[in-house]
Structure 1
Amino acid sequence: MSIANNPTPAAPGLLARWRRWWRSLPPLRQDRIATFGPAVSVIVFLAAIAAAMVYFQLEEYEREREAVMRDVEYAQLQLRQRLQDRRQQLLAITQDLSQRKSGAFEFEFQSEILISQYPELTALSWIGPQGEVIASRLAPDATETADHELRNHLSHPARLAAFEQARRQLAPVFLHREFGLQEDPALLLALPLARRNLFLGMVLAEFSYEELLRQAVPKATLARYAVALIDERGELLAGVKQDSRRAMLHRLPWAMDPPAYRVTLAPQDGRLTLQAQVYRTSQDGPGRALFWTLGALSLLTVWMLLANWRHSRRRIQAQQALLTETNFRRAMENSMLTGMRALDLEGRITYVNPAFCRMTGWTEEDLVNSGPPYCYWPEEDHEALWKILYEELHGRYSPSGFEMRLLRKDGSLFNARMYISPLIAPDGHQTGWMTSITDITEPKRVREELSASYERFATVLDSLDTAISVAPLGSVELLFANKMYRNWLGQRGDGHRQLLDLACIAPRPAQAQRKAAVAEAEAEAGDEALAAGSNGGSAEIWLPELEKWLEVRTRYLTWVDGRMAQMVIASDITARRHAEELGAQQAERAQTASRLITMGEMASSVAHELNQPLTAINNYCSGMISRVKRQQINEEELLGALEKTMKQAQRAGQIIQRIRAFVKRSEPNVTLSDVAQMVSNATELAEIELRRHQIRLNSYLAARLPPLMVDPILIEQVLINLIKNGGESIQQAQRPPVQRQVELRVSQRLIEQHPVVEFCVQDTGQGVPPEILERIYEAFYSTKAEGMGIGLKLCRSIVEAHHGRLQARNLYNPDGIVGCEFSFWIPVTEPPRSDAETTTPVSLNAGPIAKE
């Protein structure tokens, strides 16, 4: 037979014996045992709870210790990474300084940006190789003492040590600066400036430990732990160092110190230690409270084992819950800022909260059980308030509430908004009406001020003589338009789009192209242009409908609803355009007049120049006639004489054509011009005047000069004027024949990495007095008695119109001024291309030129 079929009868026998023993005891002893038994149970229960608490505390302590280790190591990583990031940024600045790509101004500008972006960076200094401060920048909150210390930085041992290590190692150096008399501890970073192993100084950065902790350590870590930076002597550099024994008297016997963990900040500085300790302001308070609560409950349980224990305990719990709920609801009512008022079905006040009493100034005793008209109704508003109350009592109320004026007890009035809802009893029947009242005096004042501000803003915009409109990108929906826009282009957004299309000088895109253009504009403007309200450009357009010239400017912006929009500002510039056209016409006339004046001054020289070929022609013709009459000339000699006569006639014709081309009135046109041809034309005319005064003109042209996009007549004018001025200066100085020469040099060079062609005219005259060298370009100012004072002024205008520069300087030798040099350069540019890839002349508005 199996064991399962023969259960042992031991347990039932033991229970029967225990029952017999219990029944054999006297009743008094049974009561004592019954009373003692729960006490033992409570003691055992307390022991189990205490053991559990110790166990769970140990578990919690281990979890906290692991958590603080992870958080401290992560904070260490963040600190190292932040220092590494600042080091990389400063290395970039150091490289620019080493390569001389930037100076003190750029260094201070970059330093100010870094200090404003990174609060832990308190100072940046550029130190020369001898220890002098070239440039420095402090944090905005730095004191005057700190500024003085920074400018005398080598007076501090730590800064001097950083300087010496950087010079010796030629590598970045981190150093710890200890407490000073007037300085806080800081972390120094010395970055040497070196080029080809030559020490050129260093960049010294100072980091605040306090800001470094605040910026690098996660805020969650700072909130959970007492984080501190400690030096090798245990002194606190930054953060919080919690004393773990301060709350010893408030702990339980088994309470332990809060978990803490330390790591070093190597490799920056192994002597610095990062420490974190768990905050525990009231050490083991919950555990202590739980322990004593359990003890009290255990004693109460022993006492409550009497007959009425369960009933009393339930009653106490019910009362406590009711009291808590009542206090909670009362606290809510007393803390509300909204006034609450309850009315019965007849309109009598049955309840008001403290906020309503504070709002009106009346007490609860004054308001409760009072009926209409209420004491807080202004007398002049009784009729309107009776109507509102009637609507309220009959259930006809607006969900948005009513706006009204109420009277305080001190007689002052305030604006309020009242919201109404039915008051439903627990049995589901309506017992009255509940109203909430909010003081809207300040919001209403702000709203009225905003409305008045908007009216003023609209009035100002409507008073402008400029049309302003705003529309979404790629849409004709008009978001805003001022009065001038409406007067010019109407109420629709078609005018806005028309201005944009004309300003872009492009046909209106199709719908698909427009969407793509809008998407591209949003992508370009969304991050930068729209955030900063950047300019979209400007253009001058002709609007046929208004017969006006308009200057159109565009600006991207973000509209109030978050959409990307474009603002167009159109200004009437018709009068200005007319003035510019008139000025261009006057300039053209002045140029022609200037050339005529120049040729008038050269008339005698030109006549002398023409007299030579004409005299030669006359002599050749007379000789041929005489020899033909005497029949002393053969055909070969006759052809030779005729060829010489033809050459002299061609020479005279070329002189006349050159003069006619120079003085001919024409529109200034920029074309692709040959430099050698312009120089040849100018020297041919100018040399006539120079030969009359026995002055040599030497021209030197560099090989393979590129063609220039200029008006050749205007450039020839400048050259002739400068050469003539040089000749006149030589004539006035009365130089000997050996020194009477003017030299013209034309070469190609680079100015600011851009190719230019430079024209240089040197003379051996008396030069320009140094005290008036800066005034020679002023209008109507001349150093010659018969000069008009506009020649050099107009020369400079012509050169600058071609995007060049004109300058003058005296030539010196030990004895004094031996001449003057006028030079100007014209940039080499690509010619404008049309659709057919041909060169198109471009109009040039250059000033006229005349003899100085």
Structure 2
Amino acid sequence: MVPSPATASVLRTSPGPGTPTDVGGAALPVEESATTSGGGDLLAALDHADLQAVLDTFPAPTFVAEVLPEHDVRTAVVNRRMRQLAGAEPDAVGLSEPDPLTAVLGPGFATFCRCSIDSDRTLERDFRWFSGVDEHSWRVTLAPLRDRGGVVVRLIGAVQDTTPLWRETERLRQSEARLHDALDHIEDGVALWDAAGRLTFRNAAYDSSRGPTDHYLRANMPSDRIRTDLPSRPSFREETLSDGRVMLWWQRSTADGGTILFSRDVTAQRQVERRARRGHAVSRSMLDSLEAAVMTASRTGIVLGINRSAAAWLGIEPDAALGRRLAAVVCGAATVLPDTDMPPVSGPPADPDGPDGLEADLHRVVATGTLRQRQLIRQDRILDASLFPIHGENQAVAAVALVGRDVTDERAADAALRECRRAMAHCQRVATMGELAAAIAHELSQPVSALITNGHTALAHLIGDDAGPEVIAALGEVCRDAERAGAILGSIAAFVRREPQERSLACINGLVDTVAELVRKDLERRDIALILDLDEGLPAVAVNPIEIEQVILNLLRNSAAALIDRPAGQRRIMVATQAAEGPDGGAGVVVSVQDSGPGFGIPADRLFAAFQTSKPDGLGIGLVICRNIVESHGGTITAEVPETGGALVSFVLPAGEAARGRG
């Protein structure tokens, strides 16, 4: 086997005899006996046979070369280990002729020997050579041997087979080259510093990112404790460069005490994030401007967003709802009712976790993509809510939106509209009744006129015939009642025809007395005491007497109807008159009717509204007629509940000529 030489590696020089030589992290000791005067003289003086015997005792592959004139060298002896390493026959004295090591390691071996002779020092060098099958790597250490005169006559060398180490190093070097090549093709910048702070690698992306300098990194390296305890903890920093790019830096400590620095251009990402934030702000502003309550939730029911209307309706802060379950937020603030077709508010609240609850509705919307409706109630406010699916990619349900509208005022308006329609129908019936009343008044006016005429004629005959006073008084009362009936019928006809009513100065106390006499017998029959408290010297009022009497009569009838359920001894009605300031600031009179009944059966602010009554058979127009008559005379009418109980209705009329001609 004739090996072929290869190029040697870097030459290494040992500091001196006996000093360990660093070879790839391992120390190779040089035998002191081979370089000192005593040991060197012995090895330099031995013949080849004895020298062979000595070298065969060495555990390492060893050889001795003779120094020839002009510092040429020739291999003299190799030991058994050396022959085994070279693959030669174990009993061969030399590897080959003329110089086996030169033949194996190439001409560089002779140069290496001359360097050792000239420097008179121990040297070390790596050689690679090809055996015909594989490439090998040897690390050769040379030391000079001197004779007694100090002249270098021989060289002793030790050989270490570093082929496995060299192959592993080459493999690692190739892997590192491939890794560097791969790192040069990624978008993130990567730089590596060793434990001493030396930059050992950086890729092209790092160079283009204009990253921090070595000085900056060393100044910001993590401490040894952190590097030891938490070698993978990242440290992030973001920086805007002079050209406007935004770079993100982060570093990690390695297990061997080094540092890896990464850089990434996040300019486009930050621009997208800014646009997304602006879009989110616009969307949030639009949602907050809506009157409708809007909430969005994930497929699993987690609240993702809520606008101000929804938060205000639920009485919560918007941030308090985010991240919580939709059903918990809604059911914690409001009562949820089943509401598929928006029926009136009724029925027990739905169980939020039950088969008909809000949680189940959300799952149905996600599973089927169909709309679900609910009715929410909070503090007498009603919210018509719907669960809408929000479709994402491939029309799959990505989220759910709850959209609600407060319909409290709308439903109240609908109820008021229905009430108005009923009132209009009632008004139409009353109007029809008014027309009938006008026709009846016209038909009755003739017999009433005949009754008055006949009554006065009979009264005249009875007075001439000296009839009894009782008969004359009764017949006189019949005549007055007939005249009153005729006047009422005339007023009804005039009211229907919208004709102005004649007014004259009248004494208000006289009008009260007239009405009192009219109802006294009826009140006595009901065991109701009528008390009159009329002030003297009141100014006259310009009124239509029949209409004012009608007002007083209606108030007395209302009070009498309210006393029907009171005990017999507690039924009282008091009518009082007194001077007062008129509505126009001048003189006036006030007439009040107070009873001892249970009070008004309806709120005071609705007493004078049309068709408002507490009597089962009432029309609800008596007080309306009273208000219209009083206001047509320039007066005012009020109602109140006295501290002593019962009900009190008072009206004020202006006094004197100032009121004449009103209406």
User: TM-score over 0.5 for the alignment?
Assistant: no
TM-score after normalising by structure 1: 0.25
Structure with higher Rg: it is 2
